[in-house]
Amino acid sequence: MKIEKIQALRGPNIWSVKRKKLIQMRLDLEEMEQYPTNKIDGFRERIEALMPSLYSHRCSEGVPGGFFSRIERGTWMGHVIEHIALEIQTLAGMDTGFGRTRETKTPGTYNVVFSYLEENVGIYAAEASVRIAEALIAGTEYDLDADIQNMRKIRERDRLGPSTGSIVEEAVARDIPWIRLGTNSLVQLGYGINQMRFQATITNKTSHIAVDIACNKEQTKRMLDAASIPVAGGGICSDEDGLKDIIAKIGYPIVLKPLDGNHGKGASINVTKYEDAVSGLAFAQKYSSRVIVEKFITGFDFRVLVIDNKVVAAAKRVPAHIKGDGALNIQQLIDKENEDPRRGYGHENVLTEISVDRDTTDLLDKKGYTLETVPAQDEIVYLKSTANLSTGGTSVDVTDMMHPENIFLAERISRVIGLDVCGIDIMAENLTQPLKENGGVILEVNAAPGFRMHLAPSEGLPRNVAAPVIDMLYPPGKPSRIPIFAVTGTNGKTTTTRLLAHIVKNNGFKVGFTTSDGIYVQNHMLEKGDTTGPFSAEYILKDPTVEFAVLETARGGILRSGLGFSRCDIGVITNIQEDHLGISDIENLDDLSRVKRVIPRSVKKDGWAVLNGDDPECIKIGKELECNVAYFSMDEESEFIKAEAKAGRVTAVYENGFITIKKGGWKIRVEKASHIPLTLGGKARFMIANVLAATLTSYLWGFKTEDISLSLQTFIPGAAQTPGRMNIFEFKKFKVLIDFAHNPAGYLAVEDYLQNVEATQKIGIISGVGDRRDQDIRDCATIAARMFDHIIIRNEKHLRGRTEEEITGLLIEGFNKTDRQITYETIPKETDAIKHAIDNAEEGSYITALSDVVTNAIGIVQSYLDKENEESIV
């Protein structure tokens, strides 16, 4: 078997608009296409022995063991690999269960699709599942545990930490979108101008100066002491002389910890001898040159979490320890404790596995113990000097036990330091009494405190401490999203997108939009190129200045990665015509329609799908949708549009020369088509269709018809505003038209326009695109032969695996399908072809360059026009 391609889909896609995170693996079964599972001796027994947990997979049988029944009766290996990929992720602690396996148009080649939680784990699972299947087919041994451990390591490397993850989960529960900014824990919540950012538990509301104070333990201590908040006595030293001075002042026992430390690293506690103090100083200085020396306070280690100046949780933290049984030694007891299913690798579970390090051996040395020592029955042996969960500690929720005086104290501390999210470390016998009564002290105030101990304590009630963070970032009434219009279709996407962006901008919004020629914010091009995929959409949604997004969305990006947004307010399909067929398993209109419908299927339930009522594929899509649907049409009298009007539904139609909104029996004439520059005086019917789509979308959003009309009249087409979309250059003796038409439907639209153009000779410059079907290239040539008197063939760009001779031959075959007598010539380079046409143009000629690289063509023609204008001035 051969893996041809693995893709990670990250947004709504052709398989599902709800399950956004899917792996799609294109798999050639090769000779295994001839061997379903019932023809492989012993396959059922081997897979059940290796992965008995697959029994829970119901498959199409709908009962436990259903998948094994399918194997018994015979199923293809792509289906088996789908189930293996899902199960190994579950065994690695990432429970997920959506899968589909479908044969492509290539016999024996399948798309194996399954869900994932972590992208790189999903990719690993795809590759591993094929290896596992091959081992099961061959009957060879396979180390499944190694794959599972590797997937766990990948997850720990890539996943969001527990604190960050909990905030994201709470945001998702409230329907707030999120974007991970890079590979660390920096996350954006919301879109555009309504975004908020956080990293771990530091938010964009967190004061920088407050973080500086909290990180400076000496400064924190001074400020708390000045505010009459109890703190441990002590000081800071950087050498033995300073250490002696502090010990002389506060006496033993003491605690030493690095000034800039965290997670308990470099700390030594309950030090009672000078030589141990010197050793502790050296240990702490591995992490910080300056070391805090404080009086050791007896009691328990508590952490109080304060968010937005309100106490939300409190926990008693217990250092990692074991309990003796009089039989097992300390190492054996550690191993036994690590078998607790609540303990796991890194942050994968509620608790972390206990490891043995210098801190452990130092504590054991103080008791005269080694790892071989057998503790007495019920003896507690502490293995870490600090109670951090990351080192194996446990936590007990004590939120409801806090004395009101201590709640007041903690909330006051958060304001003294100035942190919006802070963790306060307290050493005290308990929190049920005021600290001033039981002698408790504040040890530290932490910026970016961890949430795990509160989210999943070892004992007591879990606390949803992520909720108050979201409450703080998005109080009631504050939106997290911005409006999104998404535009797709075969032809007219870019023009419709630009026109919609113009209308939105004229209505007072700061608009960001993506097109096939670049990314724009407020008409400023920020990135140049074909930017119609998910990364470009995300670019706009990440921009903090954008109030409204209009996103051109092409088939390629949808197939590669899915959509770059979770849902849109209005989804537009301009039309669905034969184009790009024969590529990426898109062989016919039904396949193409399946891709395009991802946009309207991603529309929110009370949003609108705006569809072409003259397009049979769009009408079929409209019948399947759960959102509101409205159609635009060039034919007011079509039976479908009349039925829509009779049902009282809103439509946009071209009637009596007007762009008109209809609902039931009434009409609103928005503007006369001939007054809209984009329609070229009403002659370009396909542009009128684009205007209808944009007008209907704008009306449904709620823009006033008079504002829409004004925008339609002020949208001036041209090389700057609509590059490659019916750009007309008027020379003194002839005209040049440049258009991006590259498929039969586009050629037909240009032909329709040229029928209304008077010219002594119509010259066409055309090419064939190598990745189109032979018939598409021939059809374009046939249409070209109908509308041009002379044709220049150029094949410099986008040969895509074909030769110039092959494409030229197909074009000539297309020419010969018409009865018209035309002339043609071949000039391979586009620049030479355009220059040749202009240099030899007769008076009254009309040159049309149908170019797939519009910037080059526009530049050449503009330079000729500039030269002519300069000569006129002279």
Show Cβ contacts of residue 689 under 8 Å, excluding neighbours closer than 6 positions: 492, 574, 575, 612, 614, 632, 634, 654
147-160: average pLDDT: 94
Strand order in the sheet with 2-9: 2-9, 22-28, 109-115, 99-103
Whole-number Å distance between alpha carbons of 81 and 131: 9
Instruction: State pLDDT tens for residues 161-182.
Output: 889 999 999 999 999 999 999 8
The answer to whether the peptide bond before residue 375 is cis (omega within 30 degrees of 0) is no
What are the tens digits of pLDDT across the range 263-279? 667 888 889 999 999 99
**The pLDDT value given to residue 664:** 83
What separation in angstroms does the CA of 75 have from each of 34, 69, 96, 113, 288?
11, 10, 22, 16, 62
Residues in the chain: 874
H or E element in which residue 305 lies: strand 300-307
- The whole-number average pLDDT for the span 136-146 is 95
Residues with Cβ within 8 Å of residue 69, at least 6 apart in sequence? 59, 61
Query: Tens of pLDDT along 603-645?
Result: 999 999 999 999 999 999 999 999 999 999 999 999 999 999 9
Measured in degrees and rounded to the nearest 5, phi and psi for residue 257 equal -155, 150
DSSP string, 573-602: E----S-STTBTTB-SHHHHHHHHTHHHHT
Give me the helices (H) in 9-118, please: 43-50, 66-73, 77-91
Token pair for residue 818? 């018409």
With 70 as the cut, is the pLDDT of residue 545 above it? Answer: yes
H or E element at residue 841: none
Q: Which residue has the higher pLDDT, 858 or 114?
A: 114
Among 865, 826, 825, 869, smallest CA distance to 735 is for 865
DSSP 389: G
User: Does an H or E element contain 512, and which?
Assistant: strand 511-515
Round to whole Å and give the CA distance between 121 and 138: 25
pLDDT digits over 437-483, tens only? 999 999 999 999 999 999 989 899 999 999 999 999 999 999 999 99
Query: 716-755: per-residue pLDDT in tens?
Result: 887 777 887 888 898 989 999 988 888 888 899 899 899 8
Torsion angle defined by CA atoms of residues 590, 596, 601 and 607, in that order, rounded to the nearest 10 degrees? -130
Give per-residue pLDDT as tens, 252-308.
Answer: 999 998 887 666 678 888 899 999 999 999 999 999 899 989 988 888 999 999 999
Q: Which residue is it, tokens 């087919």?
A: 137
Whole-angstrom distance, CA of residue 874 vs CA of residue 633:
50
Please, are residues 691 and 497 in contact by the beta-carbon 8 Å criterion?
no
pLDDT digits (tens, 9 = 90+) for 336-348: 988 888 787 666 6
Number of separate helices (H) and strands (E) present in the chain = 30, 38
Can you name the residues that pair with 352 across neighbouring β-strands? 344
H-state helical runs in 251-357: 274-284, 330-338
Confidence of residue 767 (pLDDT cuts 50, 70, 90): confident
796 — pLDDT class (breaks 50, 70, 90): low
Among residues of the chain, what percentage have pLDDT more than 70?
97
What is the enclosing helix (H) or strand (E) of 696?
helix 685-701
Provide the b/e sequence for 366-382 (b: ≥16 CB within 10 Å). Answer: eeebeeeeebeeeeebb
Residues 6+ apart with CB under 8 A from 851: 724, 738, 739, 740, 765, 767, 830, 857
The yes-or-no verdict on residue 350 having pLDDT over 80 is no
